[in-house]
Structure 1
């Protein structure tokens, strides 16, 4: 192993960035909604509320399904811990990062239900931030840990959408 090769036993990052980012962005959206509210560009009707609830509930369901799948495989859900197993079934069959997709859906659902545009802005900001701080290190970790099996999974399964 040279200096550029990650240690397969090492965790992807030292910090659990996704929950930290999510909490910080939720706090920022709430705060900005109070001190710098912006007009909601959407409709204020029953169908819009149903759509918002649908997005949020879909995000919660996707998160629960992904967490249950990881638990069933006896591997960690914690983004700052080393993976024990390469999970490629459940929601991981369709996307490599279903938990992060779930976070975005939840933020968008909250935006519609609360009519706080800052939650939509937070969802947009979350994608590049979590990609840089968590997804890329996780991908390096999984490739170092699982080699060709991860590369094959990565080739057939999209990251986000």
Structure 2
């Protein structure tokens, strides 16, 4: 299979990375080092967390629906059929990963877990280094100058 037809990642395992970071945060909070710096307690953090989590789920559904509507696979172990620049992809090149990160932040606020709040940006950095760069190379090989133009006008995250 040539580079033009090769998928960006061999396995679609990034939800497991985010899930693993969440689980590690829960273990850290419950059994190793309960966070006491930020005092994420009370009604305001819970309400803010619910709003952020709702926004994250809506963004994820919007992004997935946009990809399905344009007949391009959502799974990373499939080759992109089309460069998606509509819907949430007008504002961010990675709305699904952004939604995962926002969901972690929302969950951290809802459950008062400081470790999850710290893990969210770290997980986003890991995602950028192990997945997004490969996806971008795949899209560059597949769509060339159209992808370069898209990158110039649309941020990677927000």
Q: TM-score, normalised by structure 2?
A: 0.93
How many angstroms apart in 1 are the aligned matches of 2:20 and 2:106? 17
CA-based RMSD: 1.4
The TM-score with structure 1 as length reference comes to 0.91
2:26 to 11, 25, 30: 30
Match of 1:50 among 24, 47, 52: 47
Unpaired runs of 5+ in structure 1?
A: 1-5
Corresponding pairs, count: 156
Q: Which residue of 1 aligns with 2:100?
A: 103
Contact 1:111–1:120 (CA under 8 A) maintained in structure 2: yes
Match of 1:10 in 2: 6
Structure 1 stretches of 4+ moved >3 Å:
none
Deviations along 1:79-126, whole A, 9 cap, x unmatched?
Answer: 222111110000000000011110111000000000011111220211
Mapped to 2, the partners of 1:45 and 1:114 lie a distance apart of: 10
Provide the secondary structure at the position in 1 that maps to 2:84. Answer: coil
Instruction: Check the 8 A contact 2:40/2:109 in 1, yes or no.
Output: no
